[in-house]
Amino acid sequence: MTKRCIYLTFVGGNVPRETNYRWGDEVSTNRYFQLTALDWMRRSVIPFHPDEVWVVLTKRARELWGTAPEEGKLSLREQLYAQAEHMGILIKEVDFDQEPCDQSVWRNFDVLVRKLAEVSEDLRSEAEVRLAVDVTHSFRYFPMLVLTLLHYAHVVQGAELDLILYAVETGDVLDLTALAQLQQWVLEMHRALKGPDASGVERLVREVKESVAGRDRSRRSLLGPLQTFSEKWNMLWEALRLTKHFEVSSAASATIEALEECERCFMQHEDEMVDFLPLSRILKQVREQIEPLCEKEWMPLMLAMVRWYLDRGMIHQAYTTMRELYITEACILAGVNVFDHDKREALKNLAYAQRGEAKRASDENESFSAIISELSQEQRADISAFQNQFNADIDAVSQYRNQLNHGFFQKNLPKTRETKFRDRLLKFVRHLEDFKKPREGGHI
């Protein structure tokens, strides 16, 4: 895919003084930062190669940018056009409103959004729009506006931000790209925390590694572990989404290990990577969410999964896990392999038999009697006590689920809603948790 790279810069209403601009080991003396920035881009000091320069001008700025700062000197306009011609790039002048009112801010926002939309429409799917923004000589409110604008353009038009530059009065050039990336981190982290996957975080880490924000060695040292963590996190969410119960605990543990490696990197490079500090705070919430899924015992693990599903409105995965949980606990009480399909079916049919559904118990599993006869009297008593306590819940879960799925299509079947079904499932979860507590204390 080809790229259309745009360097977006602003001309203020005052003539700046000559300054020694510094970027790493590079020093350039100039009155106008735009000229220095383009020269650094031309020489790959700044790793961004524009195809176009968009110069944003108010009425006052337009008067100044065509005027030489002193006799015998070229105006910014003349110098910028000459440099653009030398680099083989286009310059577009964009008029901005300078009225001191709220409407002016939104008009300016709309101007750039429309300009970016026009580029996106011209390119269609043939290329992507990438931006470098210089807010050095911009208006006082514009650094804040540009963050909102670029986030909006990313979501609506797919525009990608590679760089935000700001040269302070001392001449130090700051890279503020992380402020815009933080908006993306927060958005994708929020999506991942709410589920059902972390693919957005995984994609974002790859994009940041490929962008100019990844040029710093200390940042690269963190982005590697972050990429590993995001991949593990996404694999965990995939196992949960597909109700792969047997993979969840190990996937959660692997994700926590990867997260701990990220935390170690933060501690080692804390002073160098202050722009990642907000992300480290979000990762604490991630840890709190994942740790319950590291359980090795089946009942607390599956109960944690049910709560995870219910928190995300994944009602059918919650239902499936609840059904499997009852059978799994019966297998544990019977001392049989929870992955043995025939024995799982036999114990399920034992519950049918206890409810008086003898035909289902005998017809659906030919080895039913043989498997049940292998159980000791104590195991049968434990299973019977468990199933007697929860038969009503098992029936109710199925009943509410049928009402949820089919209640609107069967004339005499009661109807229910997802909120009611969710509340009922939470009630059954609490019932199972209460059952588990006395067993953990050695009483049953």
Both tokens assigned to 196? 């059902």
Q: What is the pLDDT of residue 312?
A: 86
pLDDT above 80: residue 85: yes
pLDDT above 60: residue 365: no
**Distance between CA atoms of 322 and 444, rounded to whole angstroms?**
21
Q: What is the pLDDT of residue 351?
A: 66
Model pLDDT for residues 302-312, shown as the tens digit of each residue:
989 998 988 88
Over residues 183-194, mean pLDDT? 84
Q: What is the mean pLDDT of the chain?
A: 81
pLDDT above 50: residue 359: no
pLDDT band at 327 (very low <50, low <70, confident <90, very high): confident
Nearest to 367 by CA among 351, 386, 387, 344: 344
Over residues 49-62, mean pLDDT? 91
**Distance between CA atoms of 371 and 380, rounded to whole angstroms?**
12
Nearest to 58 by CA among 108, 101, 115, 116: 108
Q: What is the pLDDT of residue 443?
A: 40
Both tokens assigned to 132? 């470098």
Give the DSSP per-residue string, 78-93: HHHHHHHHHHT-EEEE
pLDDT above 50: residue 214: no
Query: What percent of the chain is predicted at pLDDT more than 70?
Result: 84
Question: Does an H or E element contain 142, and which?
Answer: helix 142-157
**Distance between CA atoms of 330 and 221, rounded to whole angstroms?**
48
Nearest to 431 by CA among 380, 383, 396: 396
Over residues 1-19, mean pLDDT? 85
Q: Which residue has the higher pLDDT, 289 or 424?
A: 289
- Straight-line distance from the first to the last Cα atom of the chain, in angstroms, rounded to the nearest whole number: 64
Query: What percent of the chain is predicted at pLDDT more than 90?
Result: 25
Over residues 102-110, mean pLDDT? 87
Over residues 390-416, mean pLDDT? 65
Model pLDDT for residues 257-267, shown as the tens digit of each residue:
999 998 888 77
**Distance between CA atoms of 229 and 256, rounded to whole angstroms?**
8
Over residues 216-223, mean pLDDT? 65
Question: Which CA distances in Å does 121 have to 116, 153, 235?
Answer: 9, 13, 36
